[in-house]
Amino acid sequence: MFLGTRRFSYTLLIVLFSAATSVHAQERTVADGVFTEAQVESGKGVYESTCSACHRMREYRQVLRAFQNNSVMVLWDMLVSSMPADNPGSLADSEYTDIIAYILSEQGYPAGDTPLDPYNGMDEIKIIAP
Ligand code: HEC
């Protein structure tokens, strides 16, 4: 009973919070400098050792197209839960984040001053295809 009530209020809080943030959300996309050059550098290293055996960089143009209009968080969640295919979830949160920065950079999107962060606004950054 107690647990049930608590779960309900968490859900309610999350709903209220999402409603509040979406009202104030700026329309930001992956083209707006949403990752740093340092993340790109770090992501490149992780990508080359953990992803490049199975994937070619040019595939990601299609991937971004497939995820178009979703938030970057949706892509991040997908990577965390399913990649690398031979050992899903084996990387640190920050490594998945840096890989996304690297992929976006390789697609021509610019780096900026603010790091991409799954715990800070990633769900408000929209994916657009290059
Ligand atoms: C052992 C091989 C392997 C490794 C290593 C691997 N992947 Fe994959 N990946 C796959 C396969 C196979 C699929 C296709 C899964 C499907 O579509 O059912 C896939 C699918 C994907 C997709 C979705 C493609 C789409 O069209 O939706 C993305 C994005 C992706 N991988 C990224 C990564 C990243 C980033 C890494 C490194 C962290 C990685 N993968 C490591 C084999 C691998």
**Is 51 a pocket residue for ligand 1 (Cβ < 6 Å)?**
yes
Q: Do 127 and 68 touch, CB atoms closer than 8 A?
A: yes
Q: What are phi and psi of 126, to 5 degrees?
A: -90, 140
**Is 97 a pocket residue for ligand 1 (Cβ < 6 Å)?**
no
Does the 26-126 domain belong in CATH 3.30.70?
Answer: no
Q: What are phi and psi of 93, to 5 degrees?
A: -50, -45
How do the domains of the chain map onto residue ranges?
A: 26-126
The pTM for the full model equals 0.84
CA of 9 to the centre of ligand 1 (A): 37
Q: Do 112 and 33 touch, CB atoms closer than 8 A?
A: yes
Per-residue pLDDT of the chain (130 residues; tens, 9 = 90+): 555 556 656 555 555 555 555 555 568 999 999 999 999 999 999 999 999 999 999 999 999 999 999 999 999 999 999 999 999 999 999 999 999 999 999 999 999 999 999 999 999 999 999 8
